[in-house]
Amino acid sequence: MDIAIDKVRALIVEARRLDVKDGDNDPQSGSDAMDDRNVDTLSAGDPDEASEHEFRGMIAGLNIDERADLLALLYIGRGDFAAGEWEAARTLALERDAASLHLGNYLVATPNLPDLLGEGLAAIGLGLDDESQGSAEAAAENGVEIRRLRRSDG
């Protein structure tokens, strides 16, 4: 696996911030934006929009191999592939989505993205909190060679 585990964890944290992003606070209020002085509308300076911008920036900063690994984790977490099918999931990611300039859009629009990435990590033997050698061994049993377990390149 070419993506550092701490990068995946950081992306999960950012994705969780996006998951709790509020839209309309009272969608059934019966009023419109003019009546309620746009209280239910997110403002341009909203911190949630900054989180989305930061998340997209993190995705844009990944190289193609890291993007493929991230998507493979998503595919495994979503159940498209079993944990032992890492190479197949990664190959599909490379063929389909990893090179796309719209990967950030795809990921932002993916329901439950942080949970799916976490489930992908768990399926290959890497938990969100576990950075032990045993985790690298469990991942290897699923055909995933961990190249960078503890630290990212930046």
What pLDDT is attached to residue 133? 41
Helices 86-96/64-78 angle, 10° precision: 120
Q: How many whole angstroms separate alpha carbon 32 and alpha carbon 38?
A: 8
- Answer whether residue 152 is part of any domain: no
Rank 20-24, 65-69, 103-107, 148-152 by mean pLDDT and report only the highest: 65-69
The identity of residue 117, as a single letter, is L
Range of the domain at 14: 5-141
Name the H helices within 61-130: 64-78, 86-96, 103-108, 113-123
Tell me the per-residue pLDDT of 108-151, one tens digit each, with 9 for 90 and over.
Answer: 999 999 999 999 999 998 876 644 444 555 555 555 655 544 44
Tell me the per-residue pLDDT of 50-60, one tens digit each, with 9 for 90 and over.
Answer: 678 889 999 99
Q: Please give the tally of structural domains in the chain.
A: 1
Pick the closest to residue 121 from 72, 63, 55 (CA basis): 72
- Answer whether residue 129 is part of any domain: yes
CB-based contacts of 26: which residues, under 8 Å, 6+ apart?
Answer: 40
Q: How many whole angstroms separate alpha carbon 149 and alpha carbon 152?
A: 8
Mean pLDDT of all residues belonging to the chain: 75
- Answer whether residue 151 is part of any domain: no
Distance separating the N- and C-terminal Cα atoms of the chain: 16
